[in-house]
Amino acid sequence: MKILVLHGPNLNLLGTREPGIYGNITLADLNADISALAKELGIEVAIFQSNSEGELVDKIQGALTTVDGILINPAAYTHTSVALRDAIAAVALPTVEVHLSNIHSREEFRSTSFIAPVALGQISGLGPDSYLLGLRALFSHTKKNRQ
């Protein structure tokens, strides 16, 4: 089983960007935690971060025949990107949306997700555990649907 992990814009600044909201974990630390869990679960992960909407769309489209699911933190694109939403819908792969912060307890505009309607589920507000729980959920869902 292979899962594509996508980090959206500004997540490359983790560890220095608004630590009161996002914590002190760096993207490298987060990726190491994701990779360690993937190894524990016996799955492969491909991890990619971009500040570019088009690059994220390209990765989603490219995933169609190469992965079993997508774990995505679309970051600010959550609230603006019809292109990401449409790409996820087009590939029809199980997708879990994750966020480090609780997007529903922040500014009002952050409560609307263009991704949630085409995702298997959404996990937010649990810091790095959002990713790990999302990966576990995606693994469980995919394994169950293979049987």
* Integer Cα distance of 89 and 118 in angstroms: 6
Tokens found for residue 65: 């025949």
Alpha-carbon gap, residue 137 to 147, rounded angstroms: 16
pLDDT score of 14 more than 80: yes
Q: Is the pTM above the cut of 0.95?
A: no
Q: Which of 7, 22, 77, 131 is catalytic?
A: 22
Residue 131 is a catalytic residue: no
Catalytic residue among 7, 77, 79, 99: 99
Residue 113 belongs to domain with CATH number: 3.40.50.9100
- The domain in which residue 25 lies consists of 2-146
**pLDDT tens digit sequence for 18-49:** 777 777 889 999 999 999 999 999 999 999 99
- Tell me how many domains the chain contains: 1
Per-residue CA distances from 40 to 36, 76, 136, 143 (Å): 6, 30, 10, 15
pLDDT tens digit sequence for 84-130: 999 999 999 999 999 997 787 666 767 789 999 999 999 999 999 99
The residues, any chain, with a CB within 8 Å of residue 126's CB and separated by 6 or more, are 100, 133
Q: Is 79 a catalytic residue?
A: no
